[in-house]
Structure 1
Amino acid sequence: MARKNRVTDHPVYQDHELALRLADKYHTPLYVFDEPTIRTNAQEIISAIAYRPFHPRYACKALTIGAILRIVREEGFWIDASSMNEVDRAILAGFKPSEIYYTGEGATLPIYQRLVERGILVNCTSIDQISLLGRAGGVRCSVRLNPGEGDGANNRTNTGGPSSKHGIYFTQIDEVKKVTTDNGIKVVGVHSHIGSGTDLSRWLFIKDKTLEMAKQFPDLEIVNLGGGFPVIYNDENDGGMPLEEWGRALSKSMEEFSRELGRKIELQIEPGRFLVASSGVLLAEVQAVKATDPDENSTGYNFAIVNTGLNHNIRPSLYGAYHPIRFAPRDGVPRADKKPYVIAGYLCESGDVFTVDKAGVLVPRYLPEVQLGDVMVMGGIGAYSHSMKSEYNSMNLPASVLIEESGYTRVIERRGTLHDLMRREVEAYDDTAT
């Protein structure tokens, strides 16, 4: 039976004693990433695809810490970058410019000139970007096409269809051809990505639409089919991507596609969440337990307040995303009786709540009794939590720790300080600052 990519399999989520030790050693709040999980996820993607040439990319916006980028590089992945700083961070982590693919919704002439000078392939997401690339001296590009359909939990995670800002709409391919010809640019790549959490049938359906669109470009060298593989955040949902079946179907399609065109077309994909979501947990300490009484208009709630918040994982507040949560008892004594708890953060913000549905309605979790000082372990933090963190309420950013394959733990990003918070502000008024 194929392995399920479950966020609850993280070693710290499974081991209360380990959670307490890490919290005591490195203090909370704390991000903890597991190296073996990332390597396993990466290896499963590569081993599923028999077709060659094949180059998987890591959509590094999911988690961009240098130590994580180096692990991904060692596993044979290239990079999909969404900003110039992501490009530079990838190069610092050891990636070659030829291994970086740039997909950004915004664009400026200086950025495109830098990308062209470095030999980085630009994936244009609008007609305007194609013209701008021509002004920057670009002669090759990829184009991101919106196939007219998408997927995802809601419009905030759906990256295809009429409601999505991403890509050039599929009805505008003739205009793409005209603008690229006018600017002396060859379209060597076609890219599509429809959203996160896509199931197999939907993924393969969009794959077929993308290959049909790609046939219209005579200089085609690359087809990039994006990512979007589901990760299991809630154990009650037994979803997940059947990678072996996916790999067989995709490899067969690419062989047939290459035969039809009379040459080998390079296959690329760009998972982000799949590689790293299950590799991360967030540790925090219970700082208050309190309750509200019911009245004629509403029910009462039990609140557990922890020393982290939407500044360290914005996904519940932003998307109504589900993250599994458990508590390691500080006294080490298991507690059998369960109560409904709303888990909330420490920010001065009403929306700073982790247990909500997609409409923002409070959804208490039935958990063993929570006490002051217990350590919360929140799973599924590896993707789009650390990378979307903020300093709201002037809170210091957490440290990040990596559990290496040997089991040794080390800090890969130090905890923030007041100096970090104020450095840019102070330097703005310091004429001697460099």
Structure 2
Amino acid sequence: MMKLSDERLIELAQTYRTPLYVFQESIIRSRCKQLKDAITYESCKIRYACKALTLQAVLRIMLDEGFWIDASSVNEVHRALRAGFNPEEIYYTGEGATAAVYKFLCDRGILINCTSIDQLHLLGTNKRGHQCSIRVNPGRGHGESNKTNTGGPGSKHGIYLDQIDEARSVAKYYGLKIIGIHSHIGSGAKTEEWKKWNEINETTLAIARDFSTDLEFVNLGGGLPVSYRPSEKPMDIIQWGREVSRSMRRLADDIGRNVTLFIEPGRFLVAECGLLLAEVQSIKTTPADDECSGYRYIIVNTGLNHNIRPAMYGSHHEIRFVSCSSTPKSTQLQYVVAGYLCESGDVFTVGKDGRLLPREFPEVRVGDLMVMENVGAYSHAMKSEYNSMNLPASVLIDNLGRARVIERRGTLDDIMRREVEAYDEGRDIGM
């Protein structure tokens, strides 16, 4: 994997302007290879959870790697189809559903993963005798906060343990064939949490044994941890793969045949591929008072509209600054790194409780380049036009080191294009 030099980052910022997303193809492909090499179970297919980063260029890399798609909305389905995926390679798991969406999915041959009893009724009413899978809530989950925990009674996701028999009865009433059991229990932050991931998913496999008659696959979700700090060791992907493969072979022995294993990682595949570049536009200080000792702020020309994870989850992203001048800097100072939005919570250096957490950097000056790391997952995908700010451009660095714009910079016309005039001055509106 190529590490981009400071000189290259300055060149990219000058050529394509800031703020700018930069994605590296080599890192995505490296993570894909790691996963494929780790799982030794004979029948396994990896689905990319495309909600993490849905750019067409990234989807086409996943297609080239032989991965399939996990989609969370009908538009993600359409985007996967446009990228070249076949309908049978797309799996739909949506918490909300309508008859029109289910009809489209059934007509196109896209497998539906029902996440509630009501969705089973909806599917059965519109497509009696169809096949589907069900998402189960195994009673426990994991994640770095309640916002990323998708298992247990505090989570809205899946059909809870005590409703499994009801799900079976509803499916039987409509003649639905449940061919898969799915669970996703959350996105852990600590690299050892895959052990809890495996432990909790044994409950999912136990449920799958009770559906063995029609069972074709088990989908154990994603949520594999990523190292966001230099001090964190990467997860042991090889040991994880051995454990998952061993569990699947036990399931195969119990029911007398192999069933396919699906996993659907998103963040693990793309988090580390992304950088967010921004320009330092202001340095300001606040005085001490009874509550704090005062702060030194760095204001950059990006914000939570381009990476909401720190504000939303208290997530940590490594940040550094590249000097655009030749003047040496020797002083280390404590700074709070903040965005340019008219929003008090628009701060990147915060804890999980929202408290400001200054970090130490060599003296930063206006015009320096901020480099924020590991923004490949759930940063670009959750971007917004808040404060009517134009969206950044996105650049992909290919395996030969060439830069290619894969998404142009937004404009004011883009922001206003969807607006509809409610009142047209000078026209009779019948009031």
Between the aligned partners of 2:230 and 2:140, the Cα distance in structure 1 is 28
Which of 406, 415, 420 aligns to 1:421? It is: 415
Q: Give the AA of the match of 2:183.
A: S
Is structure 2 residue 205 aligned with structure 1 residue 215? no
Q: TM-score, normalised by structure 2?
A: 0.95
**Cα distance in structure 1, aligned partners of 2:167 and 2:32:** 34
Deviations, residues 82-110 of structure 1 (Å, cap 9, x unaligned): 00000000000010000000000000000
CA distance in 2, matches of 1:161, 1:309: 33
Matched, 1:160 2:145: no
- Given the alignment, which residue of 227, 231, 234 partners 1:236? 231
- Aligned partner (choices 288, 291, 301) of residue 285 of structure 2: 291
Is the 1:279–1:381 Cα contact (8 Å) retained in structure 2? yes
Displacement of 1:207 in angstroms is: 2.2
User: Residues 170-192 of structure 1: CA distance to partner in whole angstroms, max 9, x if unpaired?
Assistant: 12110010000011101100011
5 Å matches for 1:147-226? 147-197=138-188, 199-217=193-211, 218-226=213-221
Paired position in structure 2 for 1:5: none
Stretch moving more, 129-138 or 17-26? 129-138
Instruction: Report SS of the residue matched to 1:331.
Output: coil
Aligned to 2:78: 88
Question: RMSD value over aligned CA atoms?
Answer: 1.4
- Cα deviation, 1:403-433, whole Å, max 9, x if unaligned, reads 0001000100000001101011157789xxx
1:112 is aligned to 2:102:
yes
Match of residue 16 from structure 1: 6
- Is residue 194–residue 225 contact of structure 2 (8 Å, CA) maintained in 1? no
- CA distance in structure 2 between the partners assigned to 1:330 and 1:28 by the alignment: 14
C-alpha separation in 1, matches of 2:227 and 2:403: 25
Runs of 4 or more consecutive aligned structure 1 residues displaced over 2 Å after TM superposition: 9-12, 332-336, 426-430
2: CA distance, partners of 1:144 / 1:368: 49
Partner of 2:394: 400
Q: Which amino acid aligns with 1:227?
A: G
Name which of 337, 345, 361 aligns with 2:355. Answer: 361
Q: Which residue of 2 aligns with 1:383?
A: 377
Greater mean deviation of Cα atoms: 77-86 or 417-426? 417-426
Change (3 A) 1:295 1:168: same
1:335 and 1:277 map into 2 onto residues whose CA distance is 31
Q: Secondary structure at the match of 2:156?
A: coil
**What letter corresponds to residue 48 of structure 1 in structure 2?**
A
CA contact (8 A) 1:341 1:364 kept: yes
Unpaired runs of at least 5, structure 2:
425-431
* CA–CA distance in structure 1, aligned partners of residues 200 and 100 of structure 2: 34
Q: Please give the alpha-carbon distance, in whole angstroms, between the structure 1 residues aligned to 2:359 and 2:40.
A: 43
Alignment CA distance shift 1:268-1:428 (3 Å): farther
Q: Does 1:311 align with 2:305?
A: yes
- 1:135 matched to which residue of 2? 125
CA shift, 1:10, in A, is: 7.4
Question: In the alignment, what sits opposite 2:40?
Answer: 50
Q: CA deviation at 1:247?
A: 1.1
Query: Which amino acid counterpart does residue 202 of structure 2 have in structure 1?
Result: D
SS of 1:70 mapped into structure 2:
helix
Rounded Cα–Cα distance in structure 1 between residues aligned with 2:31 and 2:111: 26
Secondary structure of residue in 2 paired with 1:208? helix
Question: Quick one: structure 1 residues 272 and 333, their matched pair in 2 at CA, closer, same or farther if it must change by over 3 Å?
Answer: farther
| Separation (CA, whole Å) in 1 of partners of 2:57 and 2:291 | 50
Give the C-alpha shift of residue 335 in structure 1. Answer: 2.3
Q: Which has the higher contact order (CA 8 A, sep 6+)?
A: 1
Match of 1:145 among 115, 128, 136: 136
Q: Deviations over 1:258-283 (max 9, x none)?
A: 12111110000000000000000000
How many residue pairs end up in the alignment? 419
Determine the structure 1 residue equivalent to 2:427: none
Please identify, of 134-143 and 40-49, the stretch whose mean Cα deviation from structure 2 is larger. 134-143
The whole-number CA distance in structure 2 between the counterparts of 1:302 and 1:404 is 38
- SS, match of residue 147 in structure 2: coil
Query: Judging changes above 3 Å, is the alpha-carbon distance between structure 1 residues 428 and 50 closer, same or farther for their aligned structure 2 residues?
Result: farther
> What are the ranges of 5 or more consecutive residues in structure 1 without an aligned counterpart?
1-8
Q: Which amino acid aligns with 1:255?
A: R
Are residues 1:59 and 2:54 paired? Answer: no
The 3 A distance-change label for structure 1 pair 269 and 16 is: same
- Deviation digits for residues 1-44 of structure 1, max 9, x if unmatched? xxxxxxxx8724xx221111110000000000000000000111
Question: In the TM superposition, what whole-angstrom CA distance separates every residue of 1:342-391 from its partner, at most 9, and x where no partner exists?
Answer: 00000000000000000100000101100000000000110000000000
| Contact 2:138–2:201 (CA under 8 A) maintained in structure 1 | no
CA contact (8 A) 2:2 2:26 kept: no
Look up the equivalent residue of 1:418 and give its one-letter code: L
* Equivalent pair of 2:21/2:392 in contact (CA under 8 Å): yes
Contact 2:297 2:338 in 1 (8 A): yes
Structure 2 equivalent of residue 4 of structure 1: none
Q: Taking structure 1 as reference, are residues 128 and 405 closer, same or farther at Cα in structure 2, changes over 3 Å only?
A: same
Is the partner of 1:425 in helix, strand or coil? coil
Whether the 8 Å CA contact 1:10–1:279 is kept in 2: the answer is no
